[in-house]
Structures are given as C-alpha cells and as structure tokens.
Amino acid sequence: MFAKRIIPCLDCKDGRVVKGVQFVDLRDAGEPSELAEMYNREGADELVMLDISASREGRATLMDTVHRVAQKLFIPLTVGGGVRTLDDAHRLLAAGADKVAVNTAAVETPELISEIAGRFGNQAVVVAIDARRKTSLQGEDGQAGDASSNKAQPYWNVLTYGGSRKTDLNAVEWASRVEALGAGEILLTSMDADGTQRGFDCELTGAISNAVHIPVIASGGAGGLEHFAEVFKRGAADAALAASIFHYGQHSIRSLKEYLFAQGVPVRLI
C-alpha cells in the first residue's frame, strides 16, 4: 500500500512557530524542535517549515532552527520561505533540510528550479504554487461549480510574494512547466481556500495533480477531518498539508489518520 501523506506545517518567524499553538504537553509550545518531535511521534509523514521572517536577523535564525529541528527528526523535512538563490538552497540543505521549497523566486527566475535540481537532485526541489481562481467578466463568484453547469473552464492565476502579487501565469500550465524544469514535488496552496477552514479546493488540486506526473501536496482550507478525505478522493492529492488544525489541537494527526483509514484512504498508521 502506498500511503497518502499528512504533513503538518510550521510557520516560523525569528526562530519561533507562529500562528498560535496550544499544546498542554509541551514546555514551550512555540519551540519548533519540540513541535517537530511531537508531530513525528504522532505519525506525521513529513514536516514542512516555512520561514515568514521579514528581517535578515530572522533569516539567520532560520538556519539555527532548521539545524535544531533536523537533529532529532528522522522523517523528511522541507524548508521554504525566501529561498531566492542556489546558495540559499545549499545552506538550508546543509543545515539539515531534505528538500527546499521555492515560490516567488521560481516564478521570477525559473532556471533556479533546474539549478537546484541539477545540483541536489529533483527530489530536493519542491515548487510552491499559490493559486487563486480567476473570476469571469460576468462576475461569477469563483465557487466551484458542478460538472453539469455551463461555466467556462476554470482558470487559476499564480500569485507571488505570499499571495500579495498577481501574475499572468496559469497555475495548471505553470505546474507542467516546473515539472519539466526539474521540480520533484508541487506544494499547491489555494489562496481562495486558505484560512477559511472550509475545505481544500479539490477542483484546483485535481486539475494540477492530473496535469503532472510528480506528487502534489494540497494546502489551504483544512478545517475538518472530512476535508482531507475529500482532497484525497476528489482532488487526487498525493499529500495534504495543514497548520492551524493541528497546532490548535482540534485534531491530532493520529485521529485524522484513523478517520482516513476508516474512509478507505491509504495512510501510514503507527
């Protein structure tokens, strides 16, 4: 059995996990290495750390944080946020990351994907794509329609700079292009669903996952256990990533996996 992966995400700033964390059994709930260990014990299949530090000092702290997290973590670790050069990627990998995630820099300098893949292997490059549904001139609301409606083909734009800047890139085409450039996986975030806790964008995820031959990690919108089952079944996701649903202790990774297993989704139970 080949398992669908559950990946908790640690958003880090200046060496601390932000977005709020509520765990009673941790001495210091915002400490990335403690959270990483806890998620590993709970059965997380991988871990993603995204650095959202704005400052140079914050970035320097990141290397130290990655090193500390990696020391006792024996599952794959992906680190992203502000990776702009081959050298940035090299430093993160040397600090103990197994993969680096590139987003804005990949859009601005697509060769970066090939450079990192050429030097460290395709498996080391995760291209993060932030996508937003393009609303039509008729003012459609951008909600997923059912297959019987006469709506035009859906279209998603790629956004950069943490979702703040729109590009002309079509997300599905961009996904195929990053695969050709050497990306090993795609971390796909729906900017429409992100933060809503109303479920992943299964239409977007399916459109991308069926267009490429590399794994797609769905992100954005997880609120309940059923959302994960949906994105694996309807969205053809290979993995699903979430942050707050785990950090706030609404659901543990263990209980999520038990639920998914009962729903017939292949998962690694420990």
Partner 1 sequence: MIALLDYGAGNVGSVLKAINYLGHAAQAVDQPELLIKATKVVLPGQGHFGQMMTALDERGLRDPVSKMLASGVPYLGICLGLQALYESSEEAPGIRGLGVLPGRVKRFEGVFKVPHVGWSQIEVRRESKLLAGVPTGSFVYYCHSYYGPVTDQSAATTEYGQSFAAAFEMDSVWAVQFHPEKSSEIGLKVLRNFLDS
Catalytic residues, by residue number, are 11, 130
Instruction: Record the tokens describing residue 267, joined without a space.
Output: 């998962």
Using CB under 8 A as the binding rule, whether residue 5 contacts partner 1 is answered as: yes
Q: Does 234 engage in binding with partner 1 (CB under 8 A)? A: no
Chosen residue from 100, 186, 225, 239 binding partner 1 by CB under 8 A: 239
Cα 198 to Cα 193: distance, rounded to the nearest angstrom:
7
How many CA atoms lie within 13 Å of 157's alpha carbon, on the beta-carbon side? 15
Q: Which is nearer to partner 1, 167 or 252 (CB)?
A: 252
Q: Segment contacting partner 1 (CB under 8 A): 27-35, 66-74, 142-150, 255-263?
A: 66-74
Q: Is residue 261 involved in binding partner 1 (CB under 8 A)?
A: no
Helix (H, G, I), strand (E, B) or coil at 160: strand
Dihedral-angle region of residue 15 (phi above 0 means left; psi in -120 to 50 means alpha; beta otherwise): left
For 224-266, where are the alpha helices, taking DSSP H only? 225-233, 244-247, 253-262
Helix 111-120 crosses helix 171-181 at what angle (to 10 degrees)? 40
Nearer to partner 1, 121 or 195 (CB): 121
What DSSP assignment string belongs to 34-58?
HHHHHHHHHT-S-EEEEE---SHHH
Task: Please tell me whether residue 160 binds partner 1 under the rule CB under 8 A.
Answer: no
Q: Is there binding between residue 180 and partner 1 (CB under 8 A)?
A: no
**250: helix, coil or strand?**
coil
Closest CA to 96 of 42, 49, 163, 56: 49
Cα gap 252→112, rounded to integer Å: 36
For residue 229, the minimal CB distance to partner 1 (Å) is 18
Residues that contact partner 1, how many (by CB under 8 A)? 28
21 vs 73 by CB, closer to partner 1: 73
* Residue 214 contacts partner 1 per CB under 8 A: yes
Rule CB under 8 A: choose which of 3, 18, 52, 211 binds partner 1: 3
Q: Which helix (H) or strand (E) holds 165?
A: strand 165-170
**Stretch of residues binding partner 1 (CB under 8 A), selected from 15-23, 67-75, 219-227, 240-248:** 67-75
Q: Is 215 in the site for partner 1 (CB under 8 A)?
A: yes
Q: Is 185 in the site for partner 1 (CB under 8 A)?
A: yes
Q: Which two tokens stand for residue 136?
A: 């039509």
Using CB under 8 A as the binding rule, whether residue 118 contacts partner 1 is answered as: no
Residue among 24, 25, 213, 264 that touches partner 1 (CB under 8 A)? 213
Interface ranges with partner 1 (CB under 8 A): 1-3, 5, 40, 45, 70-72, 74-76, 94, 96, 98, 120-123, 184-185, 213-215, 238-239, 268, 270
